Structure 1
Amino acid sequence: MGMVRTMKLEFQSKRLHFRPLVEGDIDIELALWTDPEVVRFIAGEVSTVEEIRELMPVVTKRAGSGCIGIWCLIEKTTNEKIGHAALLPLPTDAEDTEFEMLQSDQWPDRDIEIGFVLKRSTWGAGYATEACARLVEFAFLEASVETIYATTNHQNLASQNVLKKCGFQDLGLIRAFAGHYPGFKIERQNY
């Protein structure tokens, strides 16, 4: 025991290259958070360029030896950034992700949730399912996460379908983001 395994925080799926989000990825974050259709089920309203710029140093923090955080998703054939996928602490009473928990190598003292956000131009091509499945694989096989949770907006049936396709179990409503939302989970022992 006690051997430190070096994590490969960059990895691939069939069509996607995953690498940790950095401040230089503000281009893809702007594309996502200023599109009303993309944010409809997440934030509800678009962010301003200033807000996004201010958040970049915050949302690029990582924890748990780098395993907890946000990955930039790059389409391998075009080299285009198409969105991001994340493993983050799931807030119960807080209204938003508690990014302040990502300032150390420690694992956040929270359940871990998976998330994915993709540019509208890529919707319907199976990228969300591919990103979700690959990040679950990373979480269980590389990062030793035991259980992964997910929550969605009540109306976000597309994301709910992605989660079910990836083997997540429907939990009904769970306490998250200071409210009650459709919740899902997948466990390593059943993976």
Structure 2
Amino acid sequence: MPSAPGTAVWPATLTTRRLALRPVAAADVPEIARLWTDPEVRRHLGGPVDSNVVRIREKRCVGAPGAFAVVRQADLTVVGLVTVEPGARDGRTEVSYQLLPEHWGQGYGREAVAAAVTWARGDVPATAPAVVALTQQANLRSRRLLEGLGATVEYTFVEWDEPQILYAFPAPPAE
């Protein structure tokens, strides 16, 4: 159950029907590093990350606030990474996500992003309900995921020489 808006709780563990989103642990680093170097994962993210940058990220990702390892509860397999970054886009909280290709098409991304957005609205200070996500216009899978969760196109722009779409998640219903 999320706490009241404005009372951030970190470290946090979020659970869904099949997944746990928890702070990145040292044992997760090899799988998380795969996300940064896999050409399929990085196709719409500017390509594989340079090995020097990967080494820096490996040192910084363990326990980093807002960085969730996405773990399948049934067997504790790391399937991806979701990050929640307050103030990242126009002062709003940005949710970003990457899943390893062998776990695509199983609904894990949708489940994980939905949990992260809910958490961002309830537990990240000064966020509710301003939560956004960004994807390349060419990334149809990501666009379907975001639209399936009710996010709507706010605007398009070019970044890293590619057309991008900024999606905004709708405000939760008033209580």
TM-score for the superposition, normalised by structure 2: 0.80
| 2:42 aligns with one of 19, 28, 39 | 39
The residue correspondences of 1:176-187 to structure 2 (distance < 5 A) are 181-187=164-170
CA distance in structure 2 between the aligned counterparts of 1:141 and 1:111, rounded to whole angstroms = 14
The one-letter code of the counterpart of 2:21 is F
CA distance in structure 2 between the aligned counterparts of 1:166 and 1:85, rounded to whole angstroms = 15
The one-letter code of the counterpart of 1:138 is W
The Cα RMSD (Å) is 3.0
CA distance in structure 2 between the aligned counterparts of 1:75 and 1:61, rounded to whole angstroms = 19
The residue correspondences of 1:108-119 to structure 2 (distance < 5 A) are 110-119=91-100
Higher RCO (C-alpha 8 Å, min separation 6): 2
The residue correspondences of 1:64-75 to structure 2 (distance < 5 A) are 69-75=66-72
CA distance in structure 1 between the aligned counterparts of 2:54 and 2:8, rounded to whole angstroms = 34
Identify the residue that residue 77 of structure 1 maps to in structure 2: 74
Identify the residue that residue 58 of structure 2 maps to in structure 1: 56
Q: How far apart are 1:89 and its partner, in Å?
A: 4.5
Identity %: 23
- How many pairs were matched up? 168
CA distance in structure 2 between the aligned counterparts of 1:59 and 1:7, rounded to whole angstroms = 14
The one-letter code of the counterpart of 1:55 is R
SS at match of 1:152: strand
- The runs of 5 or more residues in structure 2 that have no matched partner are none
